[in-house]
Chain A
Amino acid sequence: HLVPVFCLAAHRCARLLQKIKTEHATPQLYTALHRRACSTVSTPRITTHYTIHPRDKDPRWEGVEMERFADEADVVIVGGGPAGLAAAIRLKQLANKHEKELRVCLVEKAPQIGAHTLSGACLEPSALTELIPDWKERGAPLNTPVTEDVFSILTEKYRIPVPILPGLPMQNHGNYIVRMGNLVRWLGEQAEELGVELYPGYAAAEVLFHEDGSVKGIATNDVGIAKDGSPKDIFERGMELHAKVTLFGEGCHGHLAKQLYNKFNLRENCEPQTYAIGLKELWMIDEKKWRPGRVEHSVGWPLDRNTYGGSFLYHLNEGEPLVALGFVVGLDYTNPYLSPFREFQRWKHHPFVAPTLEGGQRIAYGARALNEGGCQSIPKLTFPGGLLIGCSPGFMNVPKIKGTHTAMKSGMLAAEAIFPKLTAETLDSETAGLHVPEYAENLKNSWVWKELYAVRNIRPSFHNYFGLYGGMIYTGIFYWIFRGKEPWTLKHCGTDANQLKPAKECTPIEYPKPDGKISFDLLSSVALSGTNHEGDQPPHLTLKDDSIPVARNLGIYDGPEQRFCPAGVYEYVPLDTGNGMRLQINAQNCVHCKTCDIKDPSQNINWVVPEGGGGPAYNGM
């Protein structure tokens, strides 16, 4: 047929392309060389990252020095969030108590500690009090005790109040409304005081292995690679940090954790993780509307009863009329026309919400994926040379919508399990990483597990004909009355990516236009996140196969990534030739939420870490 003729033409074309000297050419190289059996239309090259196109086969990299500088530490922690910092602090506390020297290095992709942190948040201070009992004297930014707790079911025009009976998971007595970014920054200061080496602005890009397959440490990202994948003059290799044991605290859906799941088969006995996306804004409101300490949650409108999600609105009390509000949508939604960002924007117009925001000014925006799988989805936590902590394996208590206290506790338990092994006299870590299975056992015996076990069936109970209402009834009976002691454990429905229905089976949703006062368009929102990346680098949203987005995502699902990305990274634009579309990836907009890696129905998108220091510049989110 046509194929052999096409291949001959392609071969000739390829030989011609090789003759052209490319000097940091812009990425419109037409690859007609695809040997995969896909469309005969040539796809513009999108992905240039070396994780998809290895450099050892790339002629542009011949002769480039690829050796890396290496350094040794006792413990390396990936991720400067609540879990990573709690682990670092606990390790140093133990080292100081037992008068032992311990080198703890923490790498964090954000340019400063707290800049990539985003959470509601209503913090349960239990873990913090265990870690630093005098947190108040030390100035921890827990300034807003919860004074009022309101729960509603919203309809398009009205609100049904739901009493929060004591014992229900969403009760917030004793908790604090916090700006998590500020708390994380404070934790970072505490860690530095104790002697932890913090390196913000450096992302862990690669896991390193010993010969026996155990984890040896990590390597930070290379810098100075051009957008087309070739080396720039300022190219420099990342650095290797070797450790006796490495803690991975990358947060929800970490990219290194994804590799570790495969390498060590950590997910063979657990359910796939399920997720939600949380979008958040900070507003400076009219003082007359400000009610410090007030916590509002709602479910219902604008989501239908079969789409999990809801809203939060917290009045902070830090000297100015600031509210933190946001919207969460479960990523197991089925309609590819759903846009979590636009659901959030239209929720703000509800008669119960809009009055609070009228006359106010929006000052921040951001988004992040969060875990919803509960204890059914927790993988194996330890492997030779490393452990998983925090939201990476996923310890979020979904009905409480809190995961910070459990994340911190997991970090502390990890430190406590590792410490005796690190300081034991018999240590042979030159060629093998430490295996610390005690961490997983201790976690199972701690309050973290008890708490997660009790609420394990609440989220899955949502999957019934009555959706939200069935879930609420289930919660009322089995959690409030029976405290989660029912002998069965409900399963999730499979991966979030598999839940999307083809576009032709679904109805497009008519979203209202943003009014520019309460609701806003996507691009002005992204500008408020302060996100930016070095422009001349390969897009870090890599595609395993560049042709699948148009063939499958657009063809079958009408390009859901255009709608679920809260930063406008993915756009389907017409081809220059006029017939057909292509996917344009605006990688500079990325806010590192990880939703695309989770929800892509073709699971073709692989989020890898960009050059460290890039990403959002959240301030107290």
Chain B
Amino acid sequence: MSGRVLVGVKRVIDYAVKIRVKPDNTGVVTDGVKHSMNPFCEIAVEEAVKLKEKKLIKEVVAVSCGPQQSQETIRTALAMGADRGIHVDVSGKDYENLGPLQVSKILAALAKQEDAQLILLGKQAIDDDCNQTGQMTAALLDWPQGTFASEVSLEGDKINLVREIDGGLEHIKINTPAVITADLRLNTPRYATLPNIMKAKKKKIVTVKPADLGVDVTSRLEVLKVEEPPQRQAGRV
């Protein structure tokens, strides 16, 4: 076992910012808007770093797909304790159309390339709320998946997982290698403190293109229109 964990981190618009639809209704305004790491990805990074601190795994590799600014998000993961980063460079129109299917193909390719034992992801991103990438990645790799994890423990070459489901908590045991997606109560992410940010500047981030991994990022979906939800009308009592 390589003892290597791949953690996916996504750069999204910060959750407290008010979203504005572009005047041409093709998307939302992102220029200059405050972005941060997807909160569920932070939880995934924290879990990976915790596993490394318990000496159950050897290396944490942070991955992000997006434009140049995604490197800032990888930098934050490095500051939280990841060892190195991989930036999959996707920008412009390709980035606007990037969705779970392409990302999961990229992650699957990277998992094979890096000989990963575990892939840790957030359960969903707060911008598209898709909740698909983890599941698709597991399917592409034909790996077991433990989604909505609220507790993770490694037992030899198996993983004990507690999942948060509609009916309550489900306890499962899965083989490795596996894909796990983090839910809110898995842990409380640590802060990326300044000394760690400074140290993170010395850690390596490698940039690759999707084509290098043999992945075609053309989207099968076409966005027709983006509009604001209808104004709430006053209720009647």
Which residues in A have some Cβ–Cβ distance to B below 8 Å? Answer: 69, 71, 107, 111-112, 114-115, 181-182, 185, 199, 202, 220, 223-224, 232-234, 236, 238-239, 284, 320, 363, 527-528, 530-532, 617, 619-620
**Least Cβ distance of B62 to chain A in Å?**
18
List the A residue with the shortest CB-CB distance to B192: A201
Question: Do the beta carbons of B194 and A220 come within 8 Å of each other?
Answer: yes
**A284-B23, A527-B18 known; A619 vs B32 contact (CB < 8 Å):** yes
Identify the closest chain B residue to A219 (Cβ). Answer: B194
A454 to chain B, nearest CB (A): 36
CB < 8 Å: which of A115, A199, A223, A224 contacts B197? A199
The size of the chain B interface, using a CB distance under 8 A, is 21
Near A by CB (< 8 A), chain B positions 191-227 give 191, 193-195, 197-198
Which residues from chain A contact B190 at a C-beta distance below 8 Å?
Answer: 234, 236
Point out the residues of chain A lying under 8 angstroms from B237, CB to CB: none
- Is the Cβ of B191 less than 8 Å from the Cβ of A111? no
- Give chain B's interface residues, CB within 8 Å of chain A: 14-18, 20, 23, 31-34, 36, 188-191, 193-195, 197-198
Bound Cα distance from A449 to B75, whole angstroms: 43
Q: Which residues of the other chain, B, contact A284 by a CB distance below 8 angstroms?
A: 23
The interface residues of chain B, by DSSP majority, are classed as: loop
Min CB distance B97 to A, Å, is: 24
20 contacts between A and B (CB under 8 A): A111-B36, A114-B32, A185-B32, A199-B194, A199-B197, A202-B194, A202-B197, A220-B194, A223-B191, A234-B188, A238-B193, A239-B193, A320-B23, A530-B14, A530-B17, A530-B34, A532-B16, A617-B33, A619-B31, A619-B32
B33 to chain A, nearest CB (A): 5
Q: A111-B34, A528-B18 provided; 17 other pairs, C-beta below 8 A? A: A111-B14, A112-B34, A224-B191, A234-B189, A234-B190, A236-B193, A238-B193, A238-B194, A284-B23, A527-B18, A530-B16, A530-B34, A617-B14, A617-B16, A617-B33, A619-B33, A619-B34
Chain A residues closer than 8 Å to B195, beta-carbon distance: 69, 71, 239
B191 pairs with A236, CB closer than 8 A: yes
Q: How far is the CB of B18 from chain A (nearest CB, A)?
A: 6
Q: Complex Cα distance A111/B34, Å?
A: 8
Instruction: State the CA gap A392–B137 with chains docked (Å).
Output: 52
Max count, chain A CB within 10 A of own CB: residue among B15, B20, B33, B195: B195
Residue of B with least CB distance to A112: B34
A363 CA / B18 CA spacing, docked (Å): 9
- Chain B residues with CB below 8 A from A185, complex form: 32
Return chain B residues, CB-CB under 8 Å to A114. Answer: 32
Please indicate the chain A residues that have their CB under 8 angstroms from the CB of B34 in the complex: 111-112, 115, 530, 617, 619
| Complex CA distance for A114 and B190, rounded to whole angstroms | 25
Chain A residues contacting B18 (CB-CB under 8 Å) are 527-528, 530
For residue B150, give the distance in angstroms from its CB to the closest CB of chain A: 17
Residues of B contacting A239 in the complex (Cβ-Cβ under 8 angstroms): 193-195
A364: min CB distance to chain B, Å: 9
Q: Which residue of A lies closest to B34 (CB)?
A: A617
Asked whether A617 and B194 contact (CB < 8 A) given A181-B32, A284-B23, the answer is no
> Which chain A residues border B20 with CB–CB below 8 Å?
363
A222 → chain B closest CB, angstroms? 9
Interface contact B16-A531, CB-CB below 8 Å: yes
Q: B80 to nearest A CB, angstroms? A: 11
